[in-house]
Amino acid sequence: MSARDDDRVARGLLVLGAIAGVALAGFGVVRSGGSDTAAPADAIALVNGQPLSRESFARFTAAIAAERRTTTLDVDERRRLLARMVDEELLLQRGIALGLDRYEPTARSSIVSALIASVTADAEVGEPDEAALRAFHAENRGRFGSGPRVMVDVAFVSAGGRPEALARDRAEELARRLRAGEDFAAVRSQLGDATVAELPEGPLDLDTLRDYLGPTAARAAAELAVGEVAGPVRGSAGYLVLVLRERLAEAPAPFESLREQVRAEFLRSRGEAALRDYLAGLREAAEIRILDPELAAP
């Protein structure tokens, strides 16, 4: 097999592995250490020197057992599941060697999504006290029912890592399929990319939409009829396609009736703040050169 054929096959395998291995990724296949062959205490296997943790294997097998409505898996099935983890690790290592983590959109999106989840997870646990929740509600009344509000579904197509024309075509295809009546979640899963910050759940006022999506997308949402699709709308990082699900006009609701919504939004905002701080640290430690003079910061 030629090097070109080898690369093409490996690329196909990595994409298939990314699709088939979503469950594995969700249970945290831990990779630590380098090429040293000394096995960490918590390793259940080594693949080219990279350990697979017993904890991740235990979570994975427990999830499979729960899905099959059983409490235990026999040793043959456990061997098969471990072999699946090993295969995914081999695909991952080969894909990284081929540079697919750099130019394969599915792989890039999965890596970014996993890292975002890991950064925000710690910040989104822990029970906030009543005073903190009431202060958050008072400072963010626009999120909880003041003035006209809308419920919007948003799909995002990144313009980073792919040509601008390709990103635009992908977003137009996404919008076309939504206008044809296809399921939003399915189309977004097939054609959309992960976003750094998801919209808060529930109805939102236009100021909040503007904060999350930018002024152009917020204006587009304000002009939509219920069920109508807007976009693609060019944002700072790519293209947005919006679907208006509901339009509401309500007076501000009291804190007592919104406590769980306020709590969920408080924890989400804490996760977003943690992510902003983390990104700021990465930027401070990185050497970043913008080579296009037009796009370089003044």
**Which residues, in sequence order, are CB contacts of 206 under 8 Å at separation 6+?**
148, 150, 218, 221, 222
Lowest mean pLDDT among 232-236, 283-287, 291-295: 291-295
This prediction has a pTM of: 0.46
pLDDT attached to residue 107: 76
* CA-angle at 52, arms to 49 and 54, nearest 5°: 140
Residues 177-185: what's their mean pLDDT?
91
Beta strands across the sheet bearing 238-250: 204-205, 147-158, 238-250, 229-234
Predicted confidence (pLDDT) at residue 136 exceeds the cutoff of 70:
yes
Predicted confidence (pLDDT) at residue 212 exceeds the cutoff of 80:
yes
Q: Decide if 221 contacts 242 (C-beta within 8 A).
A: yes
Predicted confidence (pLDDT) at residue 55 exceeds the cutoff of 80:
yes
CATH 3.10.50.40 domain range(s) in the chain: 147-250
* CA-angle at 153, arms to 149 and 157, nearest 5°: 130
Closest Cα to residue 197, out of 113, 264, 132, 141?
113
Lowest mean pLDDT among 21-25, 40-44, 232-236: 21-25
More confident residue, 71 or 48: 48
Predicted confidence (pLDDT) at residue 201 exceeds the cutoff of 50:
yes
Q: For residue range 66-78, what is the model confidence (pLDDT) as tens digits?
A: 888 887 888 888 8
pLDDT attached to residue 173: 93
Predicted confidence (pLDDT) at residue 27 exceeds the cutoff of 50:
no
Q: Which fold has domain 147-250?
A: Chitinase A; domain 3 (3.10.50)
Lowest mean pLDDT among 167-181, 216-230, 282-296: 282-296
Q: For residue range 96-121, what is the model confidence (pLDDT) as tens digits?
A: 888 887 777 777 778 888 888 888 88
> In whole numbers, what is the pLDDT of the chain averaged over residues?
78
* CA-angle at 199, arms to 104 and 114, nearest 5°: 35
pLDDT attached to residue 229: 92
Neighbours of 152 (CB within 10 A): 25
